[in-house]
Structure 1
Amino acid sequence: MRYPTVVSALSLASAVSAHVVPPAAADASVDCTGVNAISPKCQSSEAKYFRDVFYVGGRPVPSGGGNILADQVYVEKLTPSCGVRQPHPLVFFHGGANSAVTWLNTPDNRKGFTSYFLEKGYMVYLVDQIATGRSAQQDTTDFALANGTTVEVVQGGFTAPELAATYPQAALHTQWPGSGQLGDPIFEAFAHATVPYTTSLVAGENAMRASICSMLSMIGASYLVSHSSGAQYPILVSNDCPELVAGNINLEHSTQPFWNYGTTLDSGSAARPWGLANTPLNYEPPVSDPSELKVEVVGEDTLALRSCHLQAEPARKLPKIASVPYLCTTGEASVHATYDHCVIEFLKQAGGNPDWIKLADVGVHGNGHFGHLEKNNMDIAAVVEGWIKKQDAKKRKL
């Protein structure tokens, strides 16, 4: 299979560490809470690395004054200063209304996911989704934007769901640093990082699936690590270039088959007509139009455990996607505890053998949807690394 080869690159710092020792040491009189840590007197807890940035993919689009470049995706390449010691890179995909900065330091300035894996010797790539952050697009016809999200949605859905629980598990939420409410500097550091995102789902998926396969063809087989709605892109890449995906790792996948859930029973809306995506997937037997997929609702719908929209049996298979090792992790107190099982069941129907780790089952408790930013985020990173190590061991035996 051939992948698009149009790549523009801009190397900003091929041999400069992105971690700089502050000119003055922090002391007890300096407030380094939230955004206050921008002060040069506040020390960073992040790992040392070398940083390069690139734009991958893209295509010329005619305009009134000539051709503009569109569909290119911003990627940061982070090389651990301690040296690369692991066989496969990690490529990180953020969720909706976020950017790749979600993988760096946490809102309360603790070590982020990126640092954990850099210190373990992994090459890390951070991607801004198409039409988001530094992957902004000039073509607003193809890429309409929605506001990032409201303060109320951030508080009720992510940082303090326990205060007005719309599902029973929310009462277990204990791991957000700070109050999770407006006025708390940690909350505001997180809320300020929300950004507009594209509502042009088909255009976005088409651009990402071309650009990421192009990138992987240059860097080699990689583990794709995603959060929330970012999980749709590794699914598409697993469909298009599965030989370049060492594993598909999802922190609370938001690719619920055929449906987006509302906060009350009997609410929600149809979504992802191709099952896990808005654009075509390679089913067997083949599907030329998503209307050929027969869907049924399975299970009793409760706020603690939602019913699933699955294929009616006999289900069509997704052999390419099923060939890629798959992991989902789910937080004990997240709304995803109520419906992540639907993606797992869909993948099993499609011929896959997905792994699902409920974090509470391995002793990691109290997490909401943004577990990678919460107080025990390093415990979650260790769970992910453990799964990667198992996959690498299996590959060595082959």
Structure 2
Amino acid sequence: MFRVVTSLVLVLSLLFLLTSVQTKSIQGTLHRRNYFYVGEHYVNAPGTDNGTEIAFGQVYVEHLVPANVTQPFPILFIHGNGMTATNFLNTPDGRLGWADYFMSQGFEIYLVDQPSRGRSAWQIGVDGNQSAFNVALVESRFTAPQLFNLWPQAALHTQWPGNGTAGDPVFDDFYASMMPSLTSDEESSIKVKAAVGKLLDDIGPVILLTHSQSGQFGWILGDFRPALIKTIIALEPIGPPFINAVFPPLTPARPFGLTEIPITYSPPITTSSDLHKQINPSLSNSSVGVTCFQQTSPARQMVNLVGIPTLVVTSQASYHTDYDDCTVAYLQQAGVPVTHVRLEDVGIFGNGHMMFMEKNGLDIAEDVVLEWIQKTVQC
């Protein structure tokens, strides 16, 4: 009998230990969660003029509040093209994401789905056309660039959790999360300015963190509501100025320098043609498809951004390694106080464009982003 009881105790102890380990592996930061929408407008439903209205232009907002808020300003995350706010909740292989990490550091978090994307409704006949990333594009640019070598540094990519190709469970979960996006970045910019600008009015001031396509929204929102943004943290922001790079066709883009829609310059501009540009030969590289433009001297200043400390972060193995320097140089020439961190320069290696999802993503959150906030953002 004693042996049976002893064995039972051992089994129960092992089960308790196993449960504890499993619980520990998935537990996050205790927090409250709610969601809301902001920025909606009403319009007659397509094909009607009888007062049958629908809402459009709104953004879905997820608000996460840790049990112990110790930071004076929340972080507002805006995801990139094809993505939604889920980017920052956890990683495709189930690890805790940046939202949880920054809550553990005492920050409130706001996450949005861009207008006409994900949980922010796309209205047929009202919103513009959509497009989606195919599997080959995602594999070659984001998750397995080392297999395609479309740019010189791609071979250095080592941090994606899995082999990064279709059929791998981590890739499949990631790709399944992707959403059609508005084809026009100009339309996206207009709608983000209106809806997220309204959100800032409601919740600001904030720390604004953008990624990729949403990088230009940082400059737009900083220009639109400069008093409500304490710092802009741009993870590989869309660029370079005035023209697309690396991936053909290398067509003109961002006619206002780094944005598709006007922002404030001094001296003022009336059209994009007022921004006179010339090639910066030291940062251009035709062999990798990068033409770097800068303003002709004297350069107009982005006057509403000159008081917002800005951080641009670039991964070692991303295609952004070839042109983020050009984006940073344009910001500096326009008077923006910008710091550029290349991850390999601070001992963080092997990352691609989706750095915050990768195996060492929390190192980037702690050693780069949190450190920047702590030394830059004042109460």
TM-score (norm 1): 0.85
2:33 to 51, 58, 68: 51
Aligned equivalents of 1:285 and 1:372: distance in 2?
38
C-alpha contact (below 8 Å) 1:26/1:43 kept by paired residues? no
Say whether 1:120 aligns with 2:96: no
Q: Tell me what 1:104 maps to.
A: 89
Deviations 1:378-398 (A, max 9, x none): 011011010000112xx35xx
Counting only pairs closer than 5 Å after superposition, residues 67-146 of structure 1 correspond to structure 2 as: 67-81=53-67, 83-146=68-131
Q: Tell me what 1:200 maps to.
A: 184
Q: Tell me what 1:258 maps to.
A: 242
Q: Tell me what 1:314 maps to.
A: 298
Say whether 1:291 aligns with 2:291: no
Q: Tell me what 1:37 maps to.
A: none
Aligned equivalents of 1:187 and 1:194: distance in 2?
11
Q: Helix, strand or coil for the counterpart of 2:305?
A: helix
C-alpha contact (below 8 Å) 1:257/1:343 kept by paired residues? yes
RMSD: 2.2
1:274 to 232, 252, 256: 256
Aligned equivalents of 1:59 and 1:95: distance in 2?
24
Deviations 1:278-325 (A, max 9, x none): 111111111111122112222241446833122222211111022211
TM-fit CA distance, 1:25: 8.8
TM-fit CA distance, 1:374: 0.3
Tell me which amino acid in the other structure corresponds to 2:106: G
Q: Tell me what 1:175 maps to.
A: 159
Aligned equivalents of 1:261 and 1:304: distance in 2?
8
TM-fit CA distance, 1:331: 0.4
Q: Helix, strand or coil for the counterpart of 1:327?
A: strand
TM-fit CA distance, 1:370: 0.4
Counting only pairs closer than 5 Å after superposition, residues 1-398 of structure 1 correspond to structure 2 as: 44-63=26-45, 64=48, 65-66=50-51, 67-81=53-67, 83-147=68-132, 149-263=133-247, 267-299=249-281, 300-303=284-287, 306-382=290-366, 383-392=368-377, 395=378
Aligned equivalents of 2:70 and 2:172: distance in 1?
37
Aligned equivalents of 1:188 and 1:343: distance in 2?
32
Q: Helix, strand or coil for the counterpart of 2:127?
A: coil
C-alpha contact (below 8 Å) 2:246/2:290 kept by paired residues? no
Aligned equivalents of 2:114 and 2:17: distance in 1?
35
More off after superposition, 380-389 vs 312-321: 312-321
Deviations 1:83-113 (A, max 9, x none): 2110100000000001110001101111111
Q: Helix, strand or coil for the counterpart of 1:232?
A: helix
Q: Tell me what 1:11 maps to.
A: none
C-alpha contact (below 8 Å) 1:70/1:139 kept by paired residues? no
C-alpha contact (below 8 Å) 1:169/1:304 kept by paired residues? no
C-alpha contact (below 8 Å) 1:25/1:42 kept by paired residues? no
C-alpha contact (below 8 Å) 1:46/1:112 kept by paired residues? no
C-alpha contact (below 8 Å) 1:128/1:134 kept by paired residues? yes
Aligned equivalents of 1:244 and 1:358: distance in 2?
27
Aligned equivalents of 1:42 and 1:131: distance in 2?
37
More off after superposition, 213-222 vs 351-360: 213-222
Aligned equivalents of 2:180 and 2:255: distance in 1?
24
Aligned equivalents of 2:16 and 2:192: distance in 1?
42
Deviations 1:251-278 (A, max 9, x none): 11114211111336xx511001111111
Where does the alignment leave 5 or more consecutive residues of structure 1 unmatched? 1-23, 33-40
C-alpha contact (below 8 Å) 2:245/2:289 kept by paired residues? no
Aligned equivalents of 2:350 and 2:300: distance in 1?
37
Aligned equivalents of 2:289 and 2:129: distance in 1?
34
Q: Give the structure with higher Rg (CA).
A: 2
Where does the alignment leave 5 or more consecutive residues of structure 2 unmatched? 1-14
**Percentage identity across aligned positions?**
38
C-alpha contact (below 8 Å) 1:255/1:276 kept by paired residues? yes
TM-fit CA distance, 1:232: 1.6
TM-score (norm 2): 0.89
More off after superposition, 198-207 vs 370-379: 198-207
Aligned equivalents of 1:73 and 1:139: distance in 2?
16
**Structure number with higher helix proportion:** 2
TM-fit CA distance, 1:26: 11
* 1:175–1:224 distance in 2 versus 1, CA, 3 Å: same
TM-fit CA distance, 1:328: 0.7
Tell me which amino acid in the other structure corresponds to 2:278: E
